[in-house]
């Protein structure tokens, strides 16, 4: 195998090689043996996430959490529209925060 | 052959002929020993990774036809490896090497070869390393663009011993038969790991040839005795070609007829080492790769049972394709450019992978996993 890039895939010791191959940490695996030789030759695997990827993942998680909160409180809005029962102030404020958080 | 002669041969078998005499007699009357070929895909039928790969020659080991790889180091020569429709009578396929860039300035350390790797547990019948060690016979068909001499070498990876012999290639299909003497030194480990290599050396520098090449002799490995100095350089001209098929390795000193197996049987045997889960480029292939389950807001886990148990822990191969991998319901599609998997969740029978970095997934939701592009592809490799 011709190794060009090696990146840490997860916290279980797996590597992503050349962007396309996920190699488990087992000496039974011929590709893992190649990766170990590559490291022994003085190379260092890239971290699991770049700063950009960490920022993207953080935002994605925030988006999902915010969307889930909005969905779970939509019934307050429906109830207000149908019966004029006021939406609690805390819910209104929290929904506003959730909407602003979504990018 | 007459019936009388057949009956005579069978009588000899019944009379307690030696193993080699029995094989020769049975072969002469057209009776197959069955399951005699230790090599998988010797007829070059199965090519899951593709049928042609060009520009090979940079330092790497490249699989194309299943179980067969081209390895190289240090050379400027380049070639195309392909599954060819040319073959001797009875063979529809062969593995073809076609030189596309010559290399006539050969540095000492250059090397190029075809390679086949064996698991130790598949070689126990050879009884290597015991006083009753057996001979083994390698046979195959070859054809080139011109006369050439190459070296077929077995390398015992468990004990670092080797035994090589040269063979000739002509412009016609010819059957090569090479019997390798028994080796009473160094047993093969009885496990699923690499124990034996078959190298077909087609190009080397003097590092591999400067010693005394002892044909058909097992000895402790020394780099400079592994290849015959009479070896042709495949990269001496862009006219060079080499076709090979019908490769058989069997117990004993008699080369019997090639054991033809069905495509399906060969494919299943190959899938122990490499299996395509889904391939978007194959029109008749299913684009689906299992069932997905939402496990958290940005992750779907997917599950797939293999067609064949894998040799060992496997590598997941997933080319990056924009939106190439999708999870769908009746009204929703989530897609991503790649997939992942965690080694703690693999077995030899199945895989649990994941699609992550996607939003809006509900825990416990169910998804159909499918390829979303002709370029998308999922495979697992457990090659030696």
Determine if the pTM surpasses 0.90: no
Residues of A in contact with B318 (CB under 8 A): 20-22
Backbone angles phi and psi of B289, in degrees to 5: -135, 40
Provide the shortest C-alpha distance from residue A64 to chain B (in Å): 5
Strand partners, B63: B69
In angstroms, the first-to-last Cα distance of chain A is 41
pLDDT mean over B256-264: 96
Pick from B44, B106, B52: nearest CA to B79: B52
CA distance A70 to A77: 10
pLDDT mean over A77-100: 95
Q: Cβ–Cβ of A23/B344 closer than 8 Å?
A: no
What pLDDT is attached to residue B32? 55
User: Do B286 and B299 meet the contact criterion of CB atoms below 8 Å apart?
Assistant: no
Provide the shortest C-alpha distance from residue A31 to chain B (in Å): 7
Cα angle value B297/B301/B302 (rounded, 5°): 145
CB-based contact (8 Å) between A58 and chain B?
no
pLDDT of B7 strictly over 90: no
CB-based contact (8 Å) between A63 and chain B?
yes
CB-based contact (8 Å) between A57 and chain B?
yes
User: Do B180 and B138 meet the contact criterion of CB atoms below 8 Å apart?
Assistant: yes
Provide the shortest C-alpha distance from residue A79 to chain B (in Å): 24
In angstroms, the first-to-last Cα distance of chain B is 44
| B359 → chain A, closest CA residue | A64
CB-based contact (8 Å) between A64 and chain B?
yes
| Phi-psi region at B34: left, alpha or beta (left = phi > 0; alpha = psi -120 to 50) | left
- Close Cβ partners of B99 (under 8 Å, ≥ 6 residues apart): B77, B78, B79, B234, B235, B237, B238, B239, B240, B241
What pLDDT is attached to residue B358? 84
Q: Cβ–Cβ of A24/B343 closer than 8 Å?
A: yes
State the angle between helix axes of B3-14 and B19-28 in degrees (0 to 180), rounded to the nearest 10: 160
- Residue B16's pLDDT band, with cuts at 50, 70 and 90, is low
Q: Say which range, B200-209, B211-220, B274-283, has the weakest mean pLDDT.
A: B274-283
- Close Cβ partners of B69 (under 8 Å, ≥ 6 residues apart): B61, B62, B63, B114, B115, B116, B117, B383
Q: Cβ–Cβ of B315/A61 closer than 8 Å?
A: no
CA distance B215 to B22: 27
Q: Cβ–Cβ of B381/A31 closer than 8 Å?
A: yes
CA distance B286 to B141: 36
| Torsion angle of the four alpha carbons B212, B215, B219, B223, in this order, in degrees rounded to the nearest 10 | 50
CA distance B50 to B360: 37
pLDDT of B4 strictly over 60: no
pLDDT tens-place string over residues B103-137:
999 999 999 999 999 999 999 999 999 999 999 99
Provide the shortest C-alpha distance from residue B127 to chain A (in Å): 24
CA distance B267 to B283: 19
User: Do B229 and B24 meet the contact criterion of CB atoms below 8 Å apart?
Assistant: no
CB-based contact (8 Å) between A22 and chain B?
yes
Alpha carbon B186 to its chain centroid, in Å, reads: 24
pLDDT mean over B208-214: 96
What pLDDT is attached to residue A84? 94
What pLDDT is attached to residue B282? 80
What pLDDT is attached to residue B19? 64
Cα angle value B65/B195/B34 (rounded, 5°): 65
CB-based contact (8 Å) between A70 and chain B?
no
Q: Cβ–Cβ of B297/A61 closer than 8 Å?
A: yes
What pLDDT is attached to residue B360? 85
Instruction: List the single residue in B311, B315, B358 with the smallest CB-CB distance to A21.
Output: B315
Residues of B in contact with A17 (CB under 8 A): 315
């Amino acid at each position: 195998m011709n190794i060009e890039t090696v990146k840490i895939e997860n916290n279980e010791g797996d590597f992503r090689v050349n962007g396309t191959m996920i190699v488990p940490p087992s000496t039974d695996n011929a590709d893992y043996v190649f990766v170990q030789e590559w490291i022994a030759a003085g190379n260092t695997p890239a971290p699991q996430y770049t700063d950009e990827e960490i920022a993207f993942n953080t935002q994605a998680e925030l988006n999902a959490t915010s969307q889930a909160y909005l969905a779970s409180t939509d019934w307050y809005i429906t109830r207000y529209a149908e019966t004029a029962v006021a939406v609690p102030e805390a819910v209104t404020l929290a929904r506003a925060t959730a909407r602003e958080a979504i990018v | 052959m007459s019936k009388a002669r057949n009956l005579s041969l069978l009588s000899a078998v019944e009379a307690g002929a030696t193993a080699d005499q029995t094989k020769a007699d049975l072969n002469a009357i057209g009776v197959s020993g069955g399951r005699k070929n230790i090599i998988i895909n010797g007829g070059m039928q199965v090519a899951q990774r593709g049928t042609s790969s060009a520009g090979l020659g940079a330092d790497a080991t490249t699989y194309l036809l299943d179980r067969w790889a081209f390895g190289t180091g240090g050379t400027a020569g380049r070639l195309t490896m392909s599954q060819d429709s040319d073959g001797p009578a009875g063979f529809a396929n062969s593995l073809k090497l076609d030189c596309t860039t010559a290399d006539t300035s050969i540095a000492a350390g250059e090397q190029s070869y075809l390679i086949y790797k064996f698991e130790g547990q598949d070689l126990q019948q050879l009884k290597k390393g015991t006083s009753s060690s057996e001979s083994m016979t390698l046979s195959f068909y070859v054809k080139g663009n011109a006369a050439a001499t190459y070296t077929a070498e077995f390398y015992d990876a468990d004990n670092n011993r080797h035994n090589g012999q040269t063979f000739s290639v002509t412009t016609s299909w010819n059957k090569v038969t090479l019997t390798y003497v028994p080796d009473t030194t160094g047993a093969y480990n009885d496990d699923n790991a690499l124990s034996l290599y078959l190298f077909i050396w087609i190009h080397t520098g003097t590092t591999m040839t400067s010693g005394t090449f002892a044909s058909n002799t097992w000895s402790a490995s020394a780099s400079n005795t592994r290849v015959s100095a009479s070896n042709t350089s495949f990269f001496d001209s862009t006219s060079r070609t080499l076709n090979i098929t019908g490769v058989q390795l069997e117990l004993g000193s008699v080369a019997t007829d090639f054991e033809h197996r069905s495509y399906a049987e060969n494919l299943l045997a190959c899938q122990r080492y490499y299996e395509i889960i889904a391939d978007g480029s194959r029109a008749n292939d299913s684009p689906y790769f299992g069932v997905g389950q939402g496990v958290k807001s940005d992750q779907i886990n997917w599950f797939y049972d293999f067609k064949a148990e894998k040799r060992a822990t496997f590598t997941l191969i997933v080319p990056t394709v924009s939106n190439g991998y999708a999870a769908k319901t009746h009204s929703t599609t989530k897609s991503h450019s790649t997939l992942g998997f965690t080694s703690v969740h693999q077995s030899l029978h199945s895989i649990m992978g994941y699609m992550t970095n996607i939003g809006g997934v509900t825990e416990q939701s169910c998804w159909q996993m499918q390829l979303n592009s002709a370029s998308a592809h999922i495979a697992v490799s457990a090659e030696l």
